[in-house]
Chain A
């Protein structure tokens, strides 16, 4: 896999995090939104560990 493709994935992961965090901000405290976003953010973190952390090393 080329560095360009990894950087592209990283950019999409950043967008995912941004959207999830924005959604949490406007959730109005609805637990069904917040708790599901907590899980989504945890999965986004796994994407960061697998892809984003290594982007400048490839």
Chain B
């Protein structure tokens, strides 16, 4: 493998040998814990209650002794001053320059404070992502996203500017206007959720008579917000629809943009090990997971985020290490297949662990089916029931029996579960513009 310096945003950090990355992570982790202890009333109180002082962290193994924080704590701390963030803050309120919040999918939204340095840091993390995905100063990047209180794509926007791209903000334009603007300006790249990437292609073809793969100039797409770009069949659908390379990235409001796929598309995403410390813990025992292929919950530290530190945050994202050595030459570790699911999404149905992404992979492998689907888990008497609703493409209605048979077989192989399957006419299931809600578990609601 030969190193090509021109493919790295920072060749020094991105090709640092593993033991040196660990040394860097330890140095930064200690610095961050001390900063939080000295400046955040929440962290000082929390660590004192747990009997921890910053000086206790002497080697890499000591990191596991540092107590974890959870989203619930971030919500609780918001009841304290200063309003609206609470005393997790490490800086006076007057230094805060940006408000963002989580979507609140799993409860009360978490408010995130960033000062200008943190905002530069957000952009910097995204520069690693975009540069690795081939964005350069000749790209014209369209952002088809309603800029708002959520962090998504704000940082992507500023990072694209930082590395010299020309950025076209597609803010409040509707889908058709966005497609026409991308065509008019010959945009070469855009960023969106997988749901919207597929939805835009559908609108282009069916409402505008435009074939995105032939009539537009898009060569690369960066996805966020959903796991679709790491689900092989969904990725293939997007790439075929747009005639472009589709790359995944993972980030979160309270963490930062911590992971990205490179142009090698190695079947996984690199963790930005220089800016984040990612640990995996066994889903049941909580023991550290270091071996490849074994799933666990991600515990993550943003090593340089200062105004509202994120130290050993239990993200509930389920990931697994890859044993693959990426041909890009980066030494940043790979996680296989992106985020496999959420610890609170991976649910037991009929006693079997079910990850919604496994169903997506099967549905999107059948060319006769549309992109949309819905999964509803409920109780029929005392027994769990899974209803899968799919859409059949126009002109394929005669193949229903064959589709049903293949779906049942592949789902059985992939998930070890049986399903009731309904085939609906094309365009009859709900459409989503940002994050889709295709998996519904009605059992706790008495369904």
List residues of A (10-58) whose CB comes within 8 Å of B's CBs.
38-39, 41-43, 45-46, 49-51, 53-54, 57-58
CA distance A6 to B16 in the complex (A): 13
Task: Determine whether the beta carbon of A54 is less than 8 Å from that of B116.
Answer: no
Task: Give the residues in chain A near B28, CB-CB below 8 Å.
Answer: 53
* Docked CA distance A50–B124 (Å): 10
Interface residues on chain B, size class: 10 to 19
Docked Cα-Cα span, A1 to B274, in Å, equals 18
B27 within 8 A of A: yes
A residues less than 8 Å from B304 (CB atoms): 49
A49-B275, A49-B304 known; A54 and B12 CB under 8 Å?
yes
Could you say which of B11, B23, B116, B124 contacts A49, with CB atoms under 8 Å apart?
B124
Chain B residues whose CB sits within 8 angstroms of the CB of A43 once the complex forms: 120
Asked if A54 and B120 make an inter-chain contact with CB atoms under 8 angstroms apart, the answer reads no
Query: Of B10, B11, B12, B16, which is in contact with the most chain A CB atoms at under 10 Å from its CB?
Result: B12
| Of B10, B13, B116, B121, the contact of A38 (CB 8 Å cutoff) | B116
Contacts of B27 in A (CB 8 A): 53
Contact of A46 among B11, B12, B121, B274 (CB under 8 A): B121
Residues of A in contact (CB 8 Å), total 16
Q: How far is the CA of A50 from the CA of B354 in the complex (A)?
A: 41
B12/A50 in contact, CB under 8 A = yes
Interface string of B115-142 (1 = CB under 8 A from A): 0110111001000000000000000000
Task: Looking at the assembled complex, report how far the CB atom of A43 sits from the nearest CB atom of chain B, in whole angstroms.
Answer: 6
For residue A29, give the distance in angstroms from its CB to the closest CB of chain B.
15
Contacts of A1 in B (CB 8 A): 11-12
- Taking chain B's interface residues, is the majority helix, strand, or loop, or is none over half, making it mixed? helix
Interface centre among A39, A45, A58 (most CB of B within 10 A): A45
- Residues B20-45 near A (CB distance < 8 A): 20, 23-24, 27-28
B-side contacts of A50, CB under 8 Å: 10, 12-13, 124
Q: How far is the CA of A17 from the CA of B119 in the complex (A)?
A: 19
Return chain B residues, CB-CB under 8 Å to A38: 116
Within the complex, what minimum Cβ distance (angstroms) separates A14 from chain B?
A: 17
Taking the closest CB of chain A, its distance from the CB of B50, in whole angstroms, is: 28
B 253-293 binary contact with A (CB < 8 Å = 1; else 0): 00000000000000000000011000000000000000000
A interface residue numbers (CB < 8 A to B): 1, 6, 38-39, 41-43, 45-46, 49-51, 53-54, 57-58
Residue contacts A-B, CB under 8 angstroms, 20 given: A38-B116, A42-B116, A42-B119, A42-B120, A43-B120, A45-B117, A46-B120, A46-B121, A49-B121, A49-B274, A49-B275, A51-B12, A53-B24, A53-B27, A54-B12, A54-B13, A54-B16, A54-B274, A57-B24, A58-B12
| Besides the known contacts A6-B12, A42-B119, A49-B274, 11 further A-B residue pairs in the complex with CB atoms under 8 A apart | A1-B11, A42-B117, A43-B120, A45-B120, A46-B124, A49-B121, A50-B13, A54-B20, A57-B16, A57-B20, A57-B24
B residues adjacent to A (C-beta < 8 A): 10-13, 16, 20, 23-24, 27-28, 116-117, 119-121, 124, 274-275, 304
